[in-house]
Amino acid sequence: MGKFTLRYKPYTLELRHVFTVASFSRTTTPVVLTELEYEGIIGYGEASMPPYLGESQQSVMSFLSQVDLSSFSSPFETAEILHYIDQINAKNTAAKASVDIALHDLLGKIMGQPLYKIWGLNPDNIPATSFTIGIDTEDMIRQKVQEAGQFKILKVKLGLQTDKMIINTIRSVTDVPLCADVNQGWKNKEEALEMAHWLKEKNVTFLEQPMPKEMIDENAWLTERSPIPTIADEGCQRLIDIPALKGVYTGINIKLMKCTGLREAKQMAELAKALEMKVMLGCMTETSCAISAAAQLGPLVDWADLDGALLIGNDLYKGMTVENGQCILPESPGIGLTKE
Ligand code: MG
């Protein structure tokens, strides 16, 4: 296998609360943790597989077993290595991200600098992260909001019949700005527009994936009229998707697990900005590994939603931390992890 050694193992994240969105509930998330070693230096990576994305621990490990880096002689052949990884097949974006993250961590460690410094980004410019309140009963919502007292912005999951109850319940406890993720749950554009106006009155900052991604004309109709920005999440996976989304949504939600990792995520943020679209940086439930990797790009974005590691009870790493709602990146090389 040449100078590179790629190792990987399955791991199951235990969620602190049952997590409910418009289409499902769950209590665990399967991930695969990777290590890419080169001349004694180890980069860490991770693939997180919420079930709706179609990847599993088995599919990720099967993908990783096909990776052969023996023809590459240096991690600085980054572009070629990641092009090779991407062309192995058309899917497996989380598996690809687990190699991309480990490779970037390795590069930063070889250079002795955090990635954000290598990219010339100021970590003070990372927006305050939102914290997600899942769909729940009124009592549980109040309890979760109280637990989330340090956050400057909360994210709520909408898209069921309980939308107004959820917002009103949160508003009975706090005035903190909200963002709303509908996860494609609304099916009617006129009702969606009515809700957008109602949500603006309730100090909701933006609306993530209001209607199904296939409803392109309806999402564009809503975006044109909505008093708050609309953001594509399920409707935007990779760099190539972005130009067609201009006008359909105000902005995009970039996640490493959707777009194959840091290299493409950075290109996406830059392209969206050039197209004068808003950029949100999101995550799955992940350990501090993938979260700390994503946070390196935080200074490039308008909104950060990097609470994934806070939602789990068995993180294996320490990296990006959240203090008073702000993302704090360690000054350590690469993605800045230490093992717990
Ligand atoms: Mg979303």
Q: What are the pLDDT tens digits along the chain (340 aa)?
A: 459 999 999 999 998 877 766 566 778 999 999 999 999 999 999 999 977 778 999 999 999 999 999 999 999 999 999 999 999 999 999 999 999 999 999 999 999 999 999 999 999 999 999 999 888 889 999 999 999 999 999 999 999 888 999 999 999 999 999 999 999 999 999 999 999 999 999 999 999 999 999 999 999 999 999 999 999 999 999 999 999 999 999 999 999 999 999 999 999 999 999 999 999 999 999 999 999 999 999 999 999 999 989 989 999 999 999 999 999 999 999 999 998 7
Q: Do domains 4-112 and 117-339 have the same CATH topology?
A: no
Task: Identify any residues that bridge with 48 across adjacent strands, giving them in sequence order.
Answer: 31
Rounded to the nearest whole angstrom, what is the distance from the C-alpha of residue 210 to the centroid of ligand 1? 10
Rounded to the nearest whole angstrom, what is the distance from the C-alpha of residue 302 to the centroid of ligand 1? 15
Q: For the chain, first and last CA: distance in Å?
A: 30
Would you state the pLDDT for residue 24?
A: 67
Contact 128, 304 (CB under 8 A): yes
- What are the distances in angstroms from CA 243 to CA 66, 138, 239? 32, 40, 8
Q: Which residues contact 184 (CB under 8 A, 6 or more apart)?
A: 22, 23, 159, 209, 210, 211, 212, 213, 234
Q: Report the C-alpha gap between 60 and 88 in whole angstroms.
A: 12
Rounded to the nearest whole angstrom, what is the distance from the C-alpha of residue 2 to the centroid of ligand 1? 40
Would you state the pLDDT for residue 1?
A: 44
Rounded to the nearest whole angstrom, what is the distance from the C-alpha of residue 279 to the centroid of ligand 1? 13
Tokens at 306, concatenated: 């990097």
Domain 117-339 annotated CATH 3.20.20.120: yes
Contact 132, 122 (CB under 8 A): no
Rounded to the nearest whole angstrom, what is the distance from the C-alpha of residue 184 to the centroid of ligand 1? 9
Rounded to the nearest whole angstrom, what is the distance from the C-alpha of residue 3 to the centroid of ligand 1? 39
Rounded to the nearest whole angstrom, what is the distance from the C-alpha of residue 283 to the centroid of ligand 1? 9
Task: Identify any residues that bridge with 129 across adjacent strands, giving them in sequence order.
Answer: 304
Q: Which CATH architecture has domain 4-112?
A: 2-Layer Sandwich (3.30)
Rounded to the nearest whole angstrom, what is the distance from the C-alpha of residue 234 to the centroid of ligand 1? 7
Best CA proximity match to 204, nearest among 191, 195, 212:
195
Rounded to the nearest whole angstrom, what is the distance from the C-alpha of residue 338 to the centroid of ligand 1? 29
Domain boundaries, the chain: 4-112, 117-339
Rounded to the nearest whole angstrom, what is the distance from the C-alpha of residue 87 to the centroid of ligand 1? 27
Contact 73, 4 (CB under 8 A): no
Rounded to the nearest whole angstrom, what is the distance from the C-alpha of residue 301 to the centroid of ligand 1? 16
Q: Report the C-alpha gap between 45 and 261 in whole angstroms.
A: 10
Would you state the pLDDT for residue 135?
A: 80
